[in-house]
Amino acid sequence: MKLSAHYTRTSIYITLTVLLAGAVIYYFAINYIAQQQLDQGLQQQLIEAEEYVRSSNLNPQQYDLDRDHAVFTRTNEQKLQKRFFDTTYFNPKEQRKEAGRAVEDLVELKDTNYKVVITISRAGQKYLIEVITIITLVLLAGLLLVLFIINKYMLNGLWKPFQLTLKEIKQFNIADVDQFKGKPSKVDEFAELNEAIREMSLRVTYDYLNLKQFTENASHEMMTPLAVVTTKLDTLIQDETLSAGQLEQITDIYSSINKSSRLNQSLLLLAKLENKLITDNESINLETVLPEKMLQFQELMQTKDLSFEHNLQPKQVLASKYLIDILLNNLFSNAIRHNNSGGVIIIELNGEQLSIKNTGANHSLNEDLIFERFQKGKESQGTGLGLTLVKNICQHYGYDIHYTYDSGQHTFILKF
């Protein structure tokens, strides 16, 4: 949910609660004030009734005025606490009962006590309260509506600089020369945010360039001595006086050098991958790349008497050609290297996944460990980085890779 929606919701909840509580208090306050008003009126009536009783000197009679009436009852009680109370009022004009308010008191006339009850209608007051309630509710609804509209349409405008900043961050590419600029904003918070992001982008770009330079320098420093050794050996083997035994040793040295230079390249590549330094994406059709790979590995397959089975459907991926090459090289050489003589490799490609299945050892490999660095079988001649590279390349492109084993069949499934 968007922040503005959160804000709208919270502010509406709070407003609603405050207004409702206010309305309840308001209602009771008005009710109370109106009642005081009525009671004052009744008190006035009572005084007038007493005046009337005393001045007439007659037995007091019941009388009705416009909206109130008084009833006098002879009583033997000597004392009666004056009290105001709610009751019903019979409106003689409209011939129906209405809510009423009454006062009760004693009036003394010629040693006789009369209980007087004066009742007046509360209809007018009720009507007033109803009107006030309706006006209050309408105001409340109006206020909520206005609040909602303001939050939804006007506060969104306030977030505009934020949206622009966000858009720029999303488009920010570390390898680009252009650095983060940010739109100037009058809002302090956004200006500060832009400033912080600008500083961060500078730092990140600096780190990126530093790392890039480091990997290049490391590559240079490690590869140059290996190049010297290789070319020295190339010169050395021209010597015709060397024995076959010595030459065989040189072959071993060649192999070791080759292995360490590939190891070097793999480590540098891993460092680059982990720091997302590879950005040369292009559209690659795996349906055409896979048969080329099969052709490339043909001789290796023949020496182990392996056969390919494949079922390929078109699948375009947006990736670095170089990385896809390494990915497939590693999966293929893995499937060949760990295969039985006379075995098969089954390759299936569809829109969702690529699976490479090979026959091999009769036991499952540990899925948690095979993608780890330098985890390899004792008999393996590889660098122990092949599947780590595969995993990292998959992570780089958001693919999911996992390994399964089923009765002598080892399968690597890559989900796009």
Partner 1 sequence: MKILVIEDEQSLRENITNYLNVDGNICESCSALNPALQKLSDYDYDCVLLDIGLPDGEGFGVLQYLRSNQKNEGVLIISARNSLEDKLKGLDVGADDYLTKPFHLAELKARLMAVYRRKALNTNNKLIFNEIAIDVQGRTVEVNETAIVLTRKEYDMLLYFIANKGKVISKNAIAEHLWGDEMDMHDNFDFIYTHVKNLRRKLLDAGGKDYLTSIYGIGYKFVG
CB of 241 to partner 1, least distance (A): 12
Task: Identify which of residues 326 and 414 has a Cβ nearer to partner 1 in the complex.
Answer: 326
The token pair at 144 is 């909520």
d(CA 146, CA 398): 46
Q: Which is nearer to partner 1, 101 or 293 (CB)?
A: 293
Q: For residues 215 and 353, which CB has a smaller minimum distance to partner 1 in the complex?
A: 215
Q: Which two tokens stand for residue 346?
A: 């089954």
DSSP state of 340: P
Q: Which is nearer to partner 1, 5 or 227 (CB)?
A: 227
Q: How far is the CB of 394 from partner 1 (least distance, A)?
A: 18
CA distance 46 to 103: 8
β-bridge mates for residue 283, sequence order? 318
Distance CA 249, CA 270 (A): 31
Give me the residues that bind partner 1 (CB under 8 A), please. 216, 219-224, 226-235, 237-238, 244-248, 250-251, 254-255, 257-259, 261-262, 265, 268, 272, 278, 280, 296-297, 299-300, 302-303, 320, 322, 325-326, 329, 333, 337, 381-383
Measured CA distances, 61 to 49, 58, 116 (Å): 10, 8, 10
Report how far residue 162's alpha carbon sits from residue 350's, in angstroms, rounded to the nearest whole number.
Answer: 41
Residue nearer to partner 1 on the CB measure, 188 or 379 = 379
Distance CA(416)–CA(413), nearest Å, equals 10
Place of tokens 């009107």: 131
CB of 385 to partner 1, least distance (A): 11
- In the bound state with partner 1, the residue whose beta carbon lies nearer, of 110 and 378, is 378
- In whole angstroms, the minimum distance from the beta carbon of 307 to partner 1 comes to 16
119 burial class (0-12, 13-18, 19+ CB within 10 angstroms)? buried
- Closest distance of CB 416 from partner 1, Å: 23
Minimum distance from CB of 9 to partner 1 (Å)? 50
With contact defined as beta carbons under 8 Å apart, do 250 and 237 qualify? yes
